[in-house]
Chain A
């Protein structure tokens, strides 16, 4: 009797859940069909009006990149009511690679550019896309402001991308404590040895600034062209650099403590535990402006410099809305938009500094030049690995 009852109640539970589930299914179907209906209604409404061109712009990065575009896009749309920009933000580390794969897959499937009309990324993606013939060649004929960009930078990327902002790793120091500011790498290493515990760089596998410090040390005595070489044979020449870093380990913060992330060393500089660190220029300038770092914080680039370089915008070759995209790119390179880049993100402008207002030119003195663009590809992995076993675990 009892068993029969439990079977019955079970059956009724099944029945109830299945009706609920069925209800869910049908209601969701309904809502999607109404969505489609309203969407088509929207389409007809807009086509009846001026019919603005809408293009999709995929970009990734930290919150500051999103804030920048949230400011720039409305400015552009106000000036060009016939063009709408649809920004698609991919937070860093979540799917930049898949965006590239989408563009490539759409091309291989013969489906245009996969609805991606503009894409933002770094140097390695341009080189990759060049091999697959994905990017459109840009010229100042269609984008007049392109002539304000350093021609050497454009030649480096074969005119396939627009460098719209850049940043570099620099030396950030507390000018109240540091009297003799180093100018060269050797002077920097001397300074570290003379001031034990007052310098820190972050774990190179967790942030670009520490990564650049390590890379610069490894390539100090190697020929200049080695920094663009991604052939593993060069790794045997790293020994001297690692020996140097191992030796410096005794003199850095906490006799060998390497904080995690770019922000880790900035925190140490902010609370006065160290006096000098390698850091990203835009992070330092922004945090000084916000008061997170003391006003006495100064920045300086060494000769030869740390790593740095532009962030690029690329137009997929098969995009069907190129004219609108060109207009947008022209706007992004205008001194007006570049001033926003400078004020909002504290990045270096993508156009040559001489096109910018005088005060902007002054604020970047000593920081926006002299950096080098390292491009060692996958060797970076091996570098982090050797650093972990030879320098961190000594």
Chain B
């Protein structure tokens, strides 16, 4: 055996454990639930569950609702996190120090507790409404049991991590680049769009992917804060599986959610590969 094949075998052996773990806990369940989702009421295989998913009024409205919540949440998360990270990167002073100390806190508060906190704060007779009432504002918009509540909860859960991610990317932007750009007369807006944004674009994509996956698969906040109908896919899946006990339909829902996530993953990976290609 040549040395090269020996090293090749060793390499395969080293990859094997992680591949096996991936196979058993990711690939196999997906394959099994895909098979389950194709099973119809009489035991045969067809697309009836997926047809139901897209023709049933209730299910269709759940899917549209989930996509709406996810897209709005992801855009808001990215906008706020990016603004925060840029502010922390290029400013100094007491305010920045305080933001730096505080912005991670939501990560350390368990989801259920944070969700109940939001209910207490933003509910119909919650603190926010009571404080506004003191200033003579009597009508308070409905936030809890509405799409707004879910979006606010998503912001709370996702902003810290995304800000952290973008913060580290921004700190990798060398000061010398910005200074030399300034020296040749570039304005603030030009510097931002010509240098900072392109240099952090990849991390922005990573942040978007993480936020998307987190929001689309969320359960606690939509379950406790969301409206009874339409529901987000996670809540609907639990109901279909646990209450209606339609395993096949729940599997179809799960597989559909997986597809949505893998579309997002596809764009992410394609972007990464493109980048590698440029480097090489």
- Decide if A and B are genuine partners: yes
Interface residues of A (CB under 8 A from B): 3, 7, 203, 205, 254, 256-260, 271-273, 381, 384-385, 388-389, 392-393
Residues of A within 8 A of B245 (CB): 381
Known A205-B243, A388-B229; judge A273-B58 contact (CB<8 A).
no
Q: Give B6-30 as 1s and 0s: 1 = Cβ < 8 Å from A's Cβ atoms.
A: 0100100000000000000000000
Known A257-B145, A257-B227, A260-B223; judge A388-B125 contact (CB<8 A).
no
Residues of A within 8 A of B97 (CB): none
Distance A40 CA – B243 CA, assembled complex (angstroms): 46
The dominant DSSP class at the B interface is loop
The dominant DSSP class at the A interface is loop
Residues of A within 8 A of B142 (CB): 254
Given A203-B228, A381-B244, A381-B245, list of 16 further CB < 8 A pairs? A7-B10, A205-B243, A257-B145, A258-B228, A260-B224, A271-B123, A384-B239, A385-B244, A388-B58, A388-B228, A388-B239, A389-B56, A389-B57, A389-B58, A392-B229, A393-B230
Name 27 interchain pairs, CB-CB below 8 A, sorted by A.
Answer: A7-B10, A203-B228, A205-B239, A254-B142, A257-B228, A258-B228, A259-B145, A260-B223, A271-B123, A272-B125, A273-B124, A273-B125, A381-B243, A381-B244, A381-B245, A384-B239, A384-B243, A384-B244, A385-B244, A388-B228, A388-B229, A388-B239, A389-B56, A392-B229, A393-B58, A393-B61, A393-B229
Residues of A within 8 A of B7 (CB): 3
Residues of B within 8 A of A272 (CB): 125
Q: Which of B215-243 contact A (CB under 8 A)?
A: 223-224, 227-230, 239, 243
Q: Looking at the assembled complex, report how far the CB atom of A192 sits from the nearest CB atom of chain B, in whole angstroms.
A: 17
Q: Looking at the assembled complex, report how far the CB atom of A294 sits from the nearest CB atom of chain B, in whole angstroms.
A: 14
Residues of A within 8 A of B228 (CB): 203, 256-258, 388, 392-393
Residues of A within 8 A of B227 (CB): 257
Distance A323 CA – B243 CA, assembled complex (angstroms): 40
Residues of B within 8 A of A3 (CB): 7
Q: Looking at the assembled complex, report how far the CB atom of A394 sits from the nearest CB atom of chain B, in whole angstroms.
A: 8
Residues of B within 8 A of A7 (CB): 10
Distance A256 CA – B230 CA, assembled complex (angstroms): 12
Q: Are B239 and A271 in contact (CB under 8 A)?
A: no
Distance A257 CA – B243 CA, assembled complex (angstroms): 19
Distance A270 CA – B69 CA, assembled complex (angstroms): 31
Residues of A within 8 A of B243 (CB): 205, 381, 384-385
Q: Looking at the assembled complex, report how far the CB atom of A212 sits from the nearest CB atom of chain B, in whole angstroms.
A: 15
Residues of B within 8 A of A273 (CB): 124-125
Known A205-B243, A256-B228, A260-B224; judge A393-B57 contact (CB<8 A).
yes
Q: Which of B98-149 contact A (CB under 8 A)?
A: 123-125, 142, 145
